[in-house]
Chain A
Amino acid sequence: MADTTIRERTLAPWLGLLLTVLGLSSNALPFTRFPEAPVPWISILVSLTGFLVVLFGLWRSFGQSTAYKGKLLSAVAAGFSLLFLAGSIAFFWSARHIPPESAAAPQVGQQVPDFTLPDTTGHPVSLAQLFSVSVLNRPPKAVLLIFYRGYW
């Protein structure tokens, strides 16, 4: 008698791929919502779970091929999730932007150098001038200089 077992499709590889992509793209969330956590644990956890689900799907398709079909598709899904994983690790590693040491920068208690730079209207502004500007009918007690990387 012919084997009439109907093999199921396993969604595991695709679910896993989805989780991997979700995990990696959610990397932006920790950056904006939890700015004091340099390691994106949530995204890493989700991506790892996704990868494990993909492996599970692979096991089902190849290891239990009498019950499950879709060897090619699950291999494709596994390939893509691996690509995503590798690509994201490479991207986030290279985008770390570790700044150089600034040991000689002004420390608390030291005087800062004066300067004159143009504002966005082209008007030259000096540090001394900033203290003579009127804010709420009074000159400011302090100025906060925010040096940033730029190119936004």
Chain B
Amino acid sequence: MPVAISVDAQDVSEKLRRKRGYTFLFLSDPKAEVIRRYQLLHLGGGPEGTDIARPAEFLIDRSGTVRWENFTEDIRVRPRADKLLAAARSIR
């Protein structure tokens, strides 16, 4: 079950969600509090020097353990779906 998190306000996220036709949840972290908790802060990385998240994905199981993750170093290179799917299938 995918969940997207960013510093975007609720209306901005909703606009993006609708535009792309995504059905999953978009959560708003405007002060980057959760982003900081996950050590994903990109200080001044946004337009006009705002603090945003660096791109990263985590596959979490019911016990809260990370089973797969991806840290995007180059926004033009996307994670491979096959590795994510293999990790997801291995979860009991």
Contact = CB atoms under 8 A, between A and B. Distances in A.
Nearest to B20: A152
B45 A149 contact: yes
A150 B76 CA distance: 15
B85 to A, nearest CB: 11
A14 B74 CA distance: 35
A99 B26 contact: no
Interface in A106-152: 106-115, 117-122, 125, 127, 130-131, 133, 135, 139-152
Interface of B: 1-8, 10-14, 16-17, 25-29, 34-35, 37-43, 45-47, 52-69, 71-78, 80, 84, 88, 91-92
Given A112-B64, A143-B3, A104 B75 contact: no
A86 interface: no
Instruction: Report the contact-size class of chain A (Cβ under 8 Å from the partner).
Output: 35 or more
The CB with the most chain B CB atoms within 10 A, among A36, A131, A145, is that of A145
A125 B73 CA distance: 29
Contacts, number: 188
Contact of A127 (B54, B64, B65, B91): B64
B5 to A, nearest CB: 5
Given A125-B25, A147-B56, A106 B74 contact: no
A105 interface: yes
A31 B76 contact: yes
Contacts of A112: 38, 58, 60, 64-66
A142 B39 contact: no
